[in-house]
Structure 1
Amino acid sequence: MQHHVTFVRRILSFLFVHKRSLFYLLVTIITIHLLLLLGGKIYQHLDRDPDRGAIAIADGAFGESYSTPIYLEDDESTAVDESQGWSHSDSLWFYNITQGSALLPYDFYLSLESADSEEKLRSNRFIDYYRYLPQKKTFFNPDALAVGFVKDTYQGKDYMGFTCAACHTAQINYQGQAVRIDGGPAMADMVGYLTAIEKALHQTRSDPQKKARFMSAVLALSNDYKNQEAVEADLQKWTNTIQLYNTVNHSHIDYGYARLDAFGRIYNRVLQYVPNRQDVYELLTQATTPAGRYLISDEQANKVLEGINETIIGNDQFALIIQRLMSHEPGYPGLTQRQMLIVRNALFNEPDAPVSYPFLWDIARSDYVQWNGLAANSGIGPLGRNTGEVIGVFGILDWTAKDHGFSISAYLSGQRHKHKQVDFKHSIDLVNLKRIENHLGTLKSPLWPEALFGNIDVEKARAGQKLYARYCESCHQVIDRNNADRIAIAKMTSVNRINTDPAMADNSVSYRGKSGNFVNTFQAAGVGNVIIAEDAPVVQLLTSVTKGVVATPDPDKNIFRRWGDWLYTLVGSFFTNPIRTSSVKAGNYDPDTTANPYASLLSYKARPLNGIWATAPFLHNGSVPSLYDLMLPKKKAGDPEDGEYRPDEFMVGSREFDPVKVGFRSDGYDGTAMKTIRVGDLNSGHEYAAGHTPQPDGSLPPALTTEQRWQLLEYLKTL
């Protein structure tokens, strides 16, 4: 104790003696940082392509060719060149701002051919087929990558990664004309594209001619690879990495276009890093077949885990574990694909609750976000939420175990008393995440383009407004898109009241995993502190690791810039957030209790519906193709055959707009068949307009007539 007191006195004495020098140093650091931020602000507006990089596509997927996409004209409250409140440069900056994602080495992505073809997997044809958005070369995008595909750099190497825009930029086609919607839900098939990447990598390794072309293309770039040996080593490493990701996240639910189980995949990425060697050993040796037979012996498990780190396993070692589990060499289990799924279910959780990509306008002004209201959006909440997103979309997590000592990340993640502590080194760009959130605060919802889709019937819309007030407004607040002080209030409704598909909400609470180094740590919940058990809800583990990552400055910057940026990010995130104070959740849901501290997550969020016309398909899991169909009841046993019901099967993937029912073309082409017969895909619930779901006050207004449905639909176009 005396030693510690003496040490503190010496520190205080040093600070007092050198206070003037330290003051000047602090002022210098702040000045340099402000100049860098000013330079970044100027740089943000250098890309001013009038088409915002968009290009025409001939012979597009599903027979949809389109001219150069346009952006909607805004109302009189904004500048002439603005759409949804964003200028040309605003859109292009959003498409190309990095966030620390690393799906593949950049040289690999530029050079990779598709399976069974010499055509590059990044070609516009493939990009359009998987429903991403092709772009031309612009200042920020010299290699003409798709919207939201960017070159990111970490520890001196370049990677291709995703930005927010990859999943949150929409396109609507109508009679050959395309319209881009910034912040809208993507039609993307991420699972399909990642599967295609895995197949391409495997074939590149096994096909000598394809491999030779790939090697030549990578080396010709003269970037991160200087010889064939380095390319060969990373080709094997990244093939294993993508295979691991796809194996871990395999689901019996076909997501198809326009959906992704982002929560489930983020949870599984956390479980690649949190469990320790002993946790994995126990899970492997306890895995059993449906008949109760153990799959892996103690000896086999020890051989599989030979040389694996005790505390932090990580991506590369997990890929090695997967390889060894499937190996037929002496001493290894030699598991089949079906047996591997049993092991996967022991180590991870099946991501079987795909949801629509949410639209982003007004997200920065929402009090709670995510479909189940998981994330409080006040203070630095958006920084934590966006950090979790980048963990899910391939942020590099260079986590290691270190000896006990003080660190901010250990303190915030609950590890301050642990003998070993996780060092959360990572590629995630916290400064850019803050800048993105601020940028989204200026984005407005799109306005119905009457010149393209037809004029709104004013009389019908007035009648529809009254119906909206009676049937919708108790949950879906009406806001003014031009009000600078607007706040979007999330109205939560419990799953057992709204009766929509429960999978996403259930999984967010019920999915569990081994807690590794976080076992017996304390974590604040809404009703008090919880102790993280050995088998813990993954939502707890995600909270811990997100705090640890946010508390870890960028390793790619010098010490002054690193800590200056970190302080700027945290302090700025609080003071620039319009939601500064956490509010009580609004709505009709089961509150958290000490017995069930996550009860409120078993609910779904209703948000303002401005711009809703541009966000098909509908319901949180994309199980209803149009707004008109959403007003219809789900057909149940005993219902008359000649009634109007929501379609139980329809096609997804087309961007051709239906301005009558307000949705996308849902038949007549070979897209993804959405069959609403399984949990995860159900199209039931939210039947307010059909007179089947009670209002929050318990009343049950009668079902809308056909005429009233069209009136309400007309009003929804005005929002």
Structure 2
Amino acid sequence: MTLTRLRTALRSLFSCASLIVLITISGCTYVSQGVLVDSDRHAKVAEHDSFGDSAERVVYPEQNWSGADSLWFYNVTQGSNLLPYELFLHLETADSELLFRSDENMNRLRYLPQKESFANPDGLPVGWVKDEHKGQEFIGFTCAACHTSQINYQGVAIRIDGGATLADMEQMLKSLAMALQASLEQPEKFDRLAQRVLKTKYPDDKEAFRVQLAEAAQQIASYNQINDPRHGDQSVAYGYGRLDAFGRIYNRVLAHLTPKEPNFNPACAPVSYPYLWDTPQHDFVQWNGVGDNELAGPLGRNTGEALGVFAQFDLDKKKGDIGYRSSVAVRNLTRMERHLESLWSPSWEELAKQNVLPPINQALAEQGQQVFIEYQCHTCHEAIDRTDPNRRIISQFASLQTIGTDPYMAMNALKYSGKMGYFEGGRINPFKPDPRFQPSGAVLPALSGAVEGVLVEPDHDKLFIRRWAEKLYDLIASISDNPIKKTERHLDFEVVNKNNPATLVAYKARPLNGIWATAPYLHNGSVPSLYELFMPSCSDAEIASGKTCRPNRFTVGARELDAVNVGVVLRDPAQYPGLFVFDTSLPSNSNKGHEYAAGVTPVFVLDANGRPVKDAQGKPKMRTLQPISNHQRLALVEYLKTL
């Protein structure tokens, strides 16, 4: 949503007097996390688990957040309504009497178990939270469910706020569907669940509960069906630490546009969850840079995310409404973005001083820094001071044709289309008569329309005056507090028209501070370690011949850090069958591209001002660098530990 459009909408809704009233009655106080916060921030760690991991204690790196800051991040709602709360609380897994929410099951799915606490009295995992909407209680997700990570090293669990989760949401939702169906079909399971949920009302409301359970089972089964990551006849599992967020958000919007007929695309381009530190300081976010952080951009981006993770919304506009009713907690989304401004990336050096991680070889790291500069890494990956409150990050984008990495995510986000349903005939831009939504069209403009409509419609659970006052305050605050006021898109080292959709056929580079804590690598998680990232991609035959290459198959799911290669520890799936085997030969899983240090991907020839040098035909000049040696590779990895 542009500033002009938002201002116009706001002027049509409110007067200056209502703004004064709003500022007077509205507060921004965070929900208390209790008087006492444990030093471990109520984390639970498994001494041993089925993936071979173990930890005896938990530590938090210095990220400029207190314990209360972390717990607020874990427990603040965004309006996510997955299932009725009591139903989820007492639901058993499909094949046992173990509760679905149990630490054992959640740890297997790689969500992070927590102890009971003031803000989390039922001991839900990080990022799972009770939400209320229209007088009902639901289980839902906070931002922390996807953006909090844990790395283990030699018996110590390192919890990282804003890190990329290792959770497998696809497996979780499929397991949830099976659990609901099993409770519906198996009399013993149904009776246990009904008795726990209904308590004193059991068995009088038993049949009414059966209807509710059947509706919940159908809801999750239908969601899983339309989001099957299928390429033709082949379904490609996401595995741990990945999700096709765009595909699933798109499908949620399409399903709400035509609730009585099928309307979806394959959610077949899973990517690694992005890490959140420095996000508010970026000009553009998302792997393809579709999220413009200018002005109201962050609020729009976070609202789209909330719609994707089960916020309730209705795109059939009601008489007298200016937008679309929803459960989205806009105020909390604004608070969340501001909360993240103070977050720092984790520091390897700081953890080494605590004897949690091994010390960095500074002499080798200095050699790695020279390699970093010689191979032009710094031209895309800007160096920043992670603690500077005034840091600003100008993203550098690489077009698909130059970087050569897997194209599915960028291409799907741009090209996916569907039936426009309720939007058909409406204005794509509400302040211009044309163009209008056709019967079918691209999903990206429809998502923008849905988000804008949700943002301008107030919370109908509140009194009339308060709902409009708070809505105005939230929208104004989201713009005035945003440090990013204006953006330009930099693609292949040139400024391009950011409103041209073709510029989204690209992937974004970002500063590498904290990169050591974010394996596996590339946008789709197809390379297990930094050391292997600096190798070429190869065929199976080349690997069999002894060539030094990126692996084509590796396991994901273990939390133990490989401190030498800086990545995930690879374990034998025969010994640990629960681990996910990542196969780079499958669609959307390619490990090709970004092979600059391997002497495969050419780099731009740049002038003294960092602009591309062009030939007589106006095409940028490119050059291929020599492959780095094994010593240089180790030095480069050591340098990246220092960031």
Q: Distance in 2 between matches of 1:625 and 1:593?
A: 33
Task: Pick the aligned partner of 2:337 from 428, 433, 437.
Answer: 437
Displacement of 1:638 in angstroms is 8.2
User: 1:229-279: per-residue Cα shift (whole Å, max 9, x none)?
Assistant: 33222111111100110011112111011100010000100110113xxxx
Distance change >3 Å, CA 634–CA 212, structure 1 → 2 = same
Instruction: Report the Cα offset of residue 183 of structure 1.
Output: 0.4
Structure 2 residue aligned with 1:699: 623
- SS of equivalent residue, structure 1 residue 67: strand
SS in 2 for 1:389: helix
Between 212-221 and 501-510, the greater mean CA deviation after superposition: 212-221
Q: Where do residues 87-106 of structure 1 align in structure 2 (5 Å cutoff)?
A: 87-106=66-85
CA positional deviation for 1:465: 1.0
Cα distance in 1, alignment partners of residues 594 and 584 from structure 2 = 15
Distance 1:575 1:592, change over 3 A: closer
Residue 571 (structure 1) aligned to one of 476, 479, 500: 476
Distance, in Å, in 2 between the alignment partners of 1:103 and 1:710 is 45
Deviation at 1:362, TM superposition (A): 0.3
Q: Is the 8 A contact 1:114 1:197 kept in 2?
A: yes
Contact 1:657 1:664 in 2 (8 A): yes
Following the alignment from structure 2 to structure 1, what is the Cα–Cα distance between the partners of residues 593 and 511? 19
Q: Post-superposition shift, 1:452? A: 2.1
Larger mean CA deviation between 528-537 and 211-220 belongs to 528-537
Q: Is the 8 A contact 1:367 1:377 kept in 2?
A: yes
Equivalent residue for 1:31, pick from 17, 24, 33: 24
Q: 1:497 to 1:637 in 2, by over 3 A?
A: farther
- Could you tell me which residue of structure 2 aligns to residue 303 of structure 1? none
Compared CA separation, residues 400 and 57, structure 1 to 2 (3 A)? same
| CA 1:220–1:66: 2 relative to 1, 3 Å | farther
- Does 2:291 correspond to 1:375? yes
Q: Matched residue of 2:428: which SS?
A: strand
2:466 corresponds in structure 1 to 561
**Pair 1:398-2:314 in alignment:** yes
How many Å separate the matches in 2 of 1:518 and 1:375?
A: 22
Cα offset for 1:561?
2.4
Residue 146 of structure 1 deviates from its aligned partner by 0.1
User: Does 2:239 correspond to 1:260?
Assistant: no
Local SS of the residue matching 1:452: coil
SS at match of 1:523: coil
**AA at the equivalent of 2:45:** A
Q: Cα offset for 1:592?
A: 5.7
Alpha carbons of structure 1 residues 551 and 152: separation in structure 2 relative to 1, 3 Å: same
Whether the 8 Å contact between 1:55 and 1:67 is mirrored in structure 2 is: no
Give the 5 Å matches for 1:451-470. 451-470=355-374
What are the superposed Cα offsets for residues 420-461 of structure 1, whole Å, 9 maximum, x if unpaired?
xxxx11000000000000001110000002122211111111
CA contact (8 A) 1:107 1:221 kept: no
User: Percent same amino acid among aligned pairs?
Assistant: 44
Residue 127 of structure 1, CA deviation: 0.5
Give the stretch that moved more between structures: 574-583 or 186-195: 574-583
Contact 1:45 1:90 in 2 (8 A): no
Alpha-carbon RMSD: 2.4
TM-superposed CA distance for 1:588, in Å, is 4.6
| Aligned length in residues | 597
Name the residue aligned to 1:541: 446
Contact 1:627 1:713 in 2 (8 A): yes
Tell me whether 1:232 sits opposite 2:210 in the alignment: yes
**Distance in 1 (alpha carbons) for counterparts of 2:438 and 2:399:** 27
SS at match of 1:492: strand
TM-score (norm 1): 0.79
Which residue type is aligned with residue 353 of structure 1?
A
Sort the Cα spacing of 1:497 and 1:226 in 2 relative to 1 into closer, same or farther, 3 A: farther
Determine the C-alpha separation between the residues in 2 that align with 1:642 and 1:26.
69
Matching residue's letter, 1:65:
S
Q: Distance in 1 between matches of 2:540 and 2:50?
A: 37
The residue that corresponds to 2:515 in the other structure is: 612
**Relative to structure 1, is the Cα distance of residues 232 and 399 closer, same or farther in structure 2, using a 3 angstrom cutoff?**
farther
Choose which of 580, 593, 606 in structure 2 pairs with 1:685. 593
Shift of the alpha carbon at 1:489? Answer: 1.9
Distance of 1:558 and 1:182 partners within structure 2: 36
Q: Secondary structure at the match of 1:272?
A: helix
Deviations 1:270-303 (A, max 9, x none): 110113xxxxxxxxxxxxxxxxxxxxxxxxxxxx
Q: In the alignment, which residue of structure 1 is the partner of 2:530?
A: 627
Alignment partners' CA distance in 2, 1:238 and 1:106 = 11
- Residues 696 and 551 of structure 1, relative CA distance in 2, 3 Å threshold: farther
- Counterpart of 2:291 in structure 1: which amino acid? A
Instruction: Report how far residue 487 of structure 1 moved.
Output: 1.1
- Per the TM alignment, residue 68 of structure 1 is displaced from its structure 2 partner at its CA by 3.2
Given residue 344 of structure 2, which amino acid in structure 1 is its aligned partner?
A: K
Superposition pairs of residues 489-568 of structure 1, within 5 angstroms: 489-523=394-428, 530-568=435-473
Structure 1 residues 226, 369: closer, same or farther in 2, change over 3 A?
Answer: farther
Q: TM-score, normalised by structure 2?
A: 0.89
Q: Which runs of 5+ in 2 are unaligned?
A: 1-13, 230-234, 606-621
Alpha-carbon separation, structure 2, partners of 1:712 and 1:530 = 50
Aligned residues of 1:367 and 1:490 also touching (Cα < 8 A)? yes
Q: How does 1:477-488 map to 2 (within 5 A)?
A: 477-488=382-393
- For residue 531 of structure 1, report the CA deviation from its aligned partner: 4.0
Judged with a 3 Å threshold, the aligned counterparts in structure 2 of structure 1 residues 240 and 47 are, in CA distance, closer, same or farther, namely: farther
What one-letter code is carried by the residue in structure 1 that aligns with 2:83?
Answer: L
2:256 maps to which residue? 273
Deviation at 1:50, TM superposition (A): 1.9
Q: Given residue 566 of structure 1, which amino acid in structure 2 is its aligned partner? A: K
CA contact (8 A) 1:367 1:579 kept: yes
Matches within 5 A, 1:109-508: 109-220=88-199, 227-251=205-229, 252-275=235-258, 313=259, 318=260, 347-402=263-318, 408-409=322-323, 424-448=324-348, 449-450=351-352, 451-471=355-375, 472-508=377-413
- Compute the displacement of 1:463 (Å): 1.2
Note closer, same or farther for the CA distance 1:116–1:604 as it changes in structure 2 (3 Å cut).
same
Kept in 1, the 8 Å contact 2:419–2:439? The answer is yes
Q: C-alpha deviations, 1:93-120, integer Å up to 9, x for none? A: 0000000001111001111001121110
Query: Within 1, Cα distance between the matches of 2:479 and 2:520?
Result: 34
- 1-side partners of 2:286 and 2:36: how far apart? 31
Query: Who is 2:8 aligned against?
Result: none
Name the SS of the counterpart of 2:478 in structure 1.
helix
SS in 2 for 1:507: helix
Partner SS, residue 633 of structure 2: helix
Corresponding residue for residue 42 of structure 2: 53
Q: Distance in 2 between matches of 1:693 and 1:204?
A: 53
Q: 1:47, 1:354 → 2: CA distance?
A: 39
Letter in 2 for 1:560: I
676, 692, 702: which is aligned to 2:584? 676
Q: CA deviation at 1:533?
A: 2.6
Distance in 2, matches of 1:26 and 1:388, equals 26
* Aligned mates of 1:29, 1:257 — CA distance in 2: 44
Distance (Å, rounded) in 1 between the aligned partners of 2:212 and 2:604: 56
**Partner deviation per Cα, 1:355-389 (whole Å, 9 max, x = no partner):** 00000000011100010000100111001000100
Long gaps (5+) in structure 1: 1-14, 73-82, 276-312, 322-343, 410-423
2-structure distance, mates of 1:57, 1:588: 47
**Secondary structure of 1:445 counterpart:** coil
For 2:25 and 2:584, locate their aligned partners in 1 and report how far apart those are by CA, in whole Å: 57
Aligned match of 2:642: 718
**Match of 2:365, as an amino acid?**
A
**Closer/same/farther in 2, CA of residues 154 and 55 from structure 1, 3 Å limit:** same
- Residue of 626, 632, 639 corresponding to 1:708: 632
Q: How does 1:73-92 map to 2 (within 5 A)?
A: 83-92=62-71
Q: Which residue of 2 aligns with 1:414?
A: none
